[in-house]
């Protein structure tokens, strides 16, 4: 009887149409943990360059569906940088270099609920993110260019 049941299940399995897998094991090249090296903020004619390798550290983590970033100064808010701590997270979409962040959580609460569009370029272990940040209510209208290196 047991043998008959096993044969029956094998036969039924052979008759069932093959299903396509909805997920792939391939990871997007943007997935991973990235360390922020530098940022340029361009507002009108003014450009502010920040070197995140001196006195500060920034990390961006990207998985299949969400991104998160964390930034802080390395002196625990006790020096002239007074950057202390900032973070944010949310969902994103990415296709052919076009990256859209939906900022759902942020220590700067007035930034929450905004969407930002960027172009990403990956060269080896370096990711360059460039786009426009615009929040009318806050008077924010600038181009940002951030450079990251992938952490192993």
How many whole angstroms separate alpha carbon 37 and alpha carbon 14?
Answer: 55
Q: What domains lie within the chain, and their CATH numbers?
A: 28-150 (2.40.128.490)
Query: Over the range 5-16, which residues count as b (16 or more CB within 10 Å of their CB) and which as e?
Result: eeeeeeeeeeee
Higher pLDDT, 15 or 148: 148
The neighbour count for residue 36, using CB atoms within 10 Å, is 22
The token pair that represents 35 in the structure block? 């360390």
CA atoms within 13 A on the CB side of 75: 9
Read off the pLDDT band of 11 (50, 70, 90). Answer: very low
Residues 86-115 pLDDT 10s: 999 999 999 999 999 999 999 999 999 999
* DSSP-derived 3-state class of residue 36: strand
pLDDT tens digits, 51-67? 998 888 999 999 999 99
* pTM confidence score: 0.78
Cβ-contact 94, 28 below 8 angstroms: yes
For residue 22, pLDDT over 60 is answered with no
- pLDDT per position as a tens digit, 38-52: 999 999 999 999 999
Question: How is residue 124 annotated by DSSP?
Answer: T
The Cβ of residue 92 has, within 10 Å, a number of other Cβ atoms equal to 20
Q: With the C-alpha atoms ordered 107, 102, 91, 50, is the resulting torsion angle positive or negative?
A: negative
């Amino acid at each position: 009887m047991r043998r008959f049941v096993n044969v029956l299940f094998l036969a039924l399995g052979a008759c069932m149409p093959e299903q396509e897998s909805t997920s792939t094991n391939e990871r997007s090249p943007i997935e991973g943990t990235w360390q922020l090296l530098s940022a340029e903020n361009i507002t009108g004619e003014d450009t502010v360059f920040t070197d995140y390798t001196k006195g500060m550290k920034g990390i961006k983590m990207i998985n299949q569906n969400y991104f998160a970033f964390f930034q802080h100064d390395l002196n625990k808010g006790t020096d002239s940088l007074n950057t202390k701590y900032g973070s944010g997270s949310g969902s994103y979409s990415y296709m052919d270099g076009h990256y859209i962040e939906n900022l759902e959580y942020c220590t700067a609460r007035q930034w929450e609920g905004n969407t930002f569009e960027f172009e990403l370029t990956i060269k080896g272990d370096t990711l360059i993110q460039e786009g426009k940040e615009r929040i009318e209510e806050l008077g924010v209208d600038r181009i940002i260019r951030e450079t990251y290196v992938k952490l192993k």
